[in-house]
Structure 1
Amino acid sequence: MKRLFLAGVSLTAVSLFNAAHAADANPPLLKAPSSTCDPYKNYSCLDSYLGSDFFTRFVNYYRLEWGHDAAPSDPKAPPSRRAYWPTTPQSTPPMPFADWPYGGSTNIGDTRPSSVDSPLMAALGNTPAGQWMNDAHIQVYGWVNAGGNLSNNTVKGGNSPAAYDYNPNTVQLDQAVVYIERLPDTVQKDHVDWGFRLAPIYGENYRYTTAYGLWSNQLLNQNKNYGYDLPMAYGEVFVPQVLEGLMFRFGRYISIPDIEAQLAPNNYMYTHSMTYTFDNYTNTGLNTTLAVTKNWMFQLGLTVGTEAMPWHVGQKIDNPAPNPLFPNSTMLKDPGAQPSVSVGVRYTTDSGNDGVYVVANGINNGTWGYNNLQWYGLTYYHKFNDQWHISFETYNEHQNNVLNANNPAALASFLAGGTPFSPQVMPFNSPFLAQCSNAAVFSCTASVQTFLTYISYKPTPLDNISYRLEYFDDQQGQRTGVKTRYVETGIGWQHWFSPQIEIRPEVSYYRALDAAAFNGNANLGIAPNKKDALIGSADIIIHF
């Protein structure tokens, strides 16, 4: 029955693909209210178009934007970017971002408060609560994201190391997300401004945002399919008088490198590259971003590691099986929870056509932690013309002193509870051991080298077609659990029915070159038995 249902989902996606533009032109269920008012032609009639009560305004806002690639433009709105700032290279829709992405800061030079296009905020606009929020420049918005996949894998969790479709042949709630935020005004240069964001998430994707020590029992002790997290909880202070602007961000935030992000709308495709799946997700601490000129930005951050919480710094647990790596009767609960430094440099051309971003993220002594990855890499973007652009990422990441799975004494210590990540402490989804080339050593350094490219084409203002190609070398098997090189390629179509509703069907092929890596599940003790994975998937994102 499940396969029949999934086949129906796939056929529906194909039907949507064939009928997309016809639907845009004349959506059968979204006919405009019986009024001569068109806010796209006369913005002043927006309120009369939307109506007076909350539900009517909410539904009518979706109707208003259906088939359009942007909200109606307010002619009285202040400029959305500094006049001399590099040109914004992309638009949303159909791309997942307008500026070439960089992390740890609200975009400097082109961010205005209350600038997010939201049906919920439009519906609240004429209520006392909505008016107070507008006056305070606070917005509440978000999305619901659900999807499914068909795969040649059959074991629960067997699509891994592919992501975010961990379980093969299923339909799932990927993420339901709410943003509560105030955006600082980074266009102006005459006063200090501030902002914040709280972003709770619920769904299957929590397993990719979990930080050790923050509701992590859901994943590490219970292995729940659905869970909740708070991947972003930060405040910001923007000081425009320092050169072209200085931003302070403090709290928990998405780590600064990468093309992709955990949040569904910020990605070209439904699934994620392995490059993104196995690197740094979140940092907690302070990050500073300084726009030295309109082209150059520098970043410096001080955090407690990666996927680590401040209250784990220095915290110890009993060690029932002392060993050369953890020789005492107690050991650190998470050796990766320690002071760490991040540094970034970003350059953008005046035309906005090129952007390069070089980052060292979460740098400390690199000892084996929950996710204590020492990340060194770069992203590069180039816009060929209004239809074509390319995104490229490469990094090397490593951890030191990772227990050697090929050493019998080290493995025995792990099974006896002699590490912070032994099954007695962390029964599910614990960090993998290293498969060191020398079986005589108790531990070794585990490294990954990766190369990732997206080629994106915009055939219409509401459509993006992205081709993904990557090479991922898990040199000691510590990231994926299998010591092998991977190649992966996939193509996806991102179609927006409006700025609020999008679908993303795709197909991807994965190949493990050196050993079977798919159709297994370490939590269930099932070894992988396939070198190849072919996965077709699709999702829908409904913004509110």
Structure 2
Amino acid sequence: MRKYLLAGASLVAMMGMGGAANAGDTLPPAGKTFCDPYKNYGCLDSYLGSDFFTRFVNYYRLEWGKDSAPSDPKAPASRRDAWPATPQSIPPMPFTEWPYGGATAIGVTRPNSIDSPLMSALGNTSVGQAMNDAHVQVYGWINAGGNLSNNTVRGGNSPAAYDYNPNTVQLDQAVVYIERLPDTVQKDHVDWGFRIAPIYGENYRYTTAYGLWSNQLLQQNKNYGYDMPMAYGEVFIPYLADGLLLRFGRYISIPDIEAQLAPNNYMYTHSMTYTFDNYTNTGINASLSLNKNWMVQGSVSVGTEAMPWHVGAKIANANPNPLFPDSTMLKDPGAQPSFSAGVRYVTDSGNDGVYVVANGINNGTWGYNNLQWYGLTYYHKFNDQWHISFETYNEHQNNVLNLDNPASVALVASGTPFSLDVMPWNAPFGAHCGNTTQLSCTASVQTFLTYVNYSPTKLDNISYRLEWFDDKQGQRTGVKTRYVETGLGWQHWFSPQIEMRPEVSIYRALDAPAFNGNSNLGIAPNKKTAVIGSADIIIHF
């Protein structure tokens, strides 16, 4: 792990020395005539150089200390006329439009629009030119970080995330995007796109879908693993209202302020609100822009964190019981036809965005992660420095094993799809139903989350996070308790390609100890309060 941090530190130091050597001016490559592509975009190639490595390094040097890439005066408009104003910018924020899921942003997306050192380095090669002509880009990032915590047990920071292990340094995620963005600004032709996004690192434990390389987590409990949280195609049809975008494959679920992948978040860690809800769906999602202000969505999927090949799949039941009475049982009862729907409204000014969603809706039976999610997000921009983000939801599952019933507890060993003989690590939790007679009950969560964000400069964002998370039966976190969490983070960008995010967060479980335990190891939590300081660095390429 240290080699990743040392490599990142070396790159940052190299960029810093390059940026300082000329009193803030853009540095020319060795042997090249001085030029500043921010003043004269036509000299960009001259500045970058001719060979791949030189161009790659010089692109980092070019953007060091800047808040954007050089602007191509010949580039087509990046958004439709009269479309709501772009509320934010990258940097210092993790997004430009108020986030919504299941679709490439309609009305504001052009092909070949990602600012990437790798693509710039390839730009004068035959491979790069062919990719550019095909509107295909390859880019990504490496994200590493660490934390200091009052917890000491392996896994003891949980239910805080994404710093599962206390007092460690780790590779959070190495991600590559291979994508073609559809042109959603134009309205004269059907366009298409795709994204394939492999990920490797500690964060795979949060993205895993049952049935897709899930043995790493559920059979081996590996610290590092790989996943593919996004693998989808898209078709954009501009002739219906202001545009219909169809996405099919595996994609990040449609609600939420935050996202699994590091650059899409205000802070290094994630709220509990995000950690314990729907992550990905596999199916088809339709997003229809009715006009510049209103969008509606609808989707059909196979549930949350479920794979199509698990629909109807059965396994042997070694211990038939009233909850699962037959000699066989569904491998994942949550893998079934499911529906989602959403509606989004953005004001003409772009200062306000409301997004109401029902996600992964089916009979709600206890599955690997069969969450029935109902909630909304709301964003408000006060001015160019201040904005808030708010999210609330209620989610539930039915027929969850009752851990207050001795007969149900006995089934933890054998007799359910998630018993130890089937899933020895990281199985879904049961519920504390509050009585000793029921075999199962409905488990639900109610949560409220707010981010208050202040941007003092174009390269800095300070985020204050405050949330309430009521795990009413303990099914999501493993402990039946209410949580209050608050954190303060600083997102600093050295350039559009390199950022760091130090923070400190305090978690308090109000009703029972919830921290410094590990259910996989049979260690009960013994702390109600967790204090965690952490920081990470993201290097884009």
TM-score bucket (shorter structure): over 0.9
Determine the C-alpha separation between the residues in 2 that align with 1:33 and 1:246: 45
The answer on whether the counterparts of 1:58 and 1:119 sit within 8 Å (CA) in structure 2 is yes
> What do residues 29-87 of structure 1 show as CA deviations (whole Å, max 9, x unaligned)?
99543532100000000000000000000000000000000000000000000011000
Q: Which amino acid aligns with 2:201?
A: G
Partner of 1:388: 386
1:376 aligned residue (374, 377, 381): 374
Q: 1:442 maps to which residue?
A: 439
**2:492 matched residue in structure 1:** 495
Q: How many Å separate the matches in 1 of 2:19 and 2:505?
A: 27
- C-alpha separation between the residues in 1 aligned to 2:174 and 2:337? 32
Matched, 1:60 2:55: no
Q: Judge conservation of contact 1:82–1:110 (CA < 8 Å) in 2.
A: yes
Q: Partner of 1:241 in structure 2? A: 239
TM-aligned CA distance change 1:21 to 1:484, over 3 Å = farther
Change (3 A) 1:316 1:356: same
Partner of 1:358: 356
Amino acid at match of 1:308: A
CA shift in 2, pair 1:62/1:303, >3 Å: same
Alignment-derived partner of residue 138 in structure 1:
136
- Aligned-partner Cα distance in 2 for 1:367–1:105: 28
Match of 1:280 in 2: 278
- 1:302 alignment partner AA: V
Match runs of 1:69-468 below 5 Å:
69-415=67-413, 417-468=414-465
In structure 2, stretches of 5+ residues that fail to align are none
Matching residue of 1:521:
518
Instruction: Tell me which residue corresponds to 1:479.
Output: 476
Work out whether 1:508 is the aligned partner of 2:505: yes
CA distance in 2 between counterparts of 1:495 and 1:31 reads 23
Counterpart Cα distance in 1 of 2:308 and 2:264? 28
2: distance between equivalents of 1:401 and 1:25?
62
CA distance in structure 1 between the partners assigned to 2:311 and 2:28 by the alignment? 57
Distance 2:492 2:29 in 1: 25
Deviates more, 1:317-326 or 1:282-291: 317-326
d(CA) in 1 for partners of 2:161, 2:518: 14
Residues 18 and 61, structure 2, Cα contact 8 Å, conserved in 1:
no
Which segment drifts farther, 109-118 or 435-444? 435-444
Q: 1:476 to 1:542 in 2, by over 3 A?
A: same
Relative to structure 1, is the Cα distance of residues 47 and 283 closer, same or farther in structure 2, using a 3 angstrom cutoff? same
Decide whether the 8 Å contact of 2:28 with 2:34 is kept in 1.
no
Q: Which of 529, 533, 538 is matched with 2:535 structurally?
A: 538
Q: Deviations over 1:108-150 (max 9, x none)?
A: 0000000000000000001110000000000000000000000
Q: Secondary structure at the match of 1:159?
A: coil
- Aligned pair 1:48/2:43, yes or no? no
Provide TM-score, normalisation by structure 1: 0.95
Deviation at 1:24, TM superposition (A): 6.8
C-alpha distance in 1 between matches for 2:302 and 2:21:
52
Identity of aligned residues (%): 80
Compute the displacement of 1:27 (Å): 8.9
CA RMSD of aligned residues (A): 1.9
Matched residue SS, 2:488: strand
Instruction: Give the TM-score of the pair, scaled to structure 2.
Output: 0.96
**8 Å contact 1:32–1:63 — kept in the other structure?**
no
Amino acid at match of 1:194: W
Structure 2 counterpart of 1:444, which letter? Answer: C
The AA in structure 1 aligned to 2:482 is R
The secondary structure found in structure 1 opposite 2:130 is helix
**Counterpart residue identity of residue 449, structure 1:** Q
CA distance in 1, matches of 2:479, 2:178: 40
Shift of 1:325: 1.0
Question: SS of 1:79's equivalent?
Answer: coil
Q: What SS class does the counterpart of residue 366 from structure 2 fall into?
A: coil
Cα distance between partner residues in 1 of 2:280 and 2:183: 24
Contact in 2 for aligned 1:407/1:442 (Cα 8 Å):
yes
SS of residue in 2 equivalent to 1:414: coil
Could you list the per-position Cα deviations for residues 290-310 of structure 1 after superposition, in whole angstroms to 9, with x for gaps in the alignment?
A: 000100000000000000000
> Amino acid of the residue matched to residue 407 of structure 1?
N
| CA offsets 1:390-411 (integer angstroms, 9 cap, x no match) | 0000000000000000101111
Q: Please give the secondary structure, in 1, of the residue aligned with 2:203.
A: helix
Deviation at residue 413 of structure 1 after TM alignment: 2.1
Deviation string, structure 1 residues 82-119 (Cα, Å, up to 9, x no partner)? 01100000000000000000000000000000000000
2 CA distance for matches of 1:526 and 1:261? 30
**Could you tell me how far apart the structure 1 residues matched to 2:410 and 2:73 are?**
70
> Aligned partners of 2:331, 2:34: CA distance in 1, in Å?
66
Letter matched to residue 426 of structure 1: M
Contact 1:25 1:67 in 2 (8 A): no
> Structure 1 residues 28 and 142, CA, compared in 2 at 3 Å: closer, same or farther?
farther
1:397-448 CA-to-partner distances (Å, cap 9, x unmatched) read 0000000001011111222x10000000000000000000122111000000
Q: Distance in 2 between matches of 1:169 and 1:275?
A: 23
- The letter for the 1-side match of 2:478 is G
Cα distance in 2 for residues equivalent to 1:50 and 1:24: 15
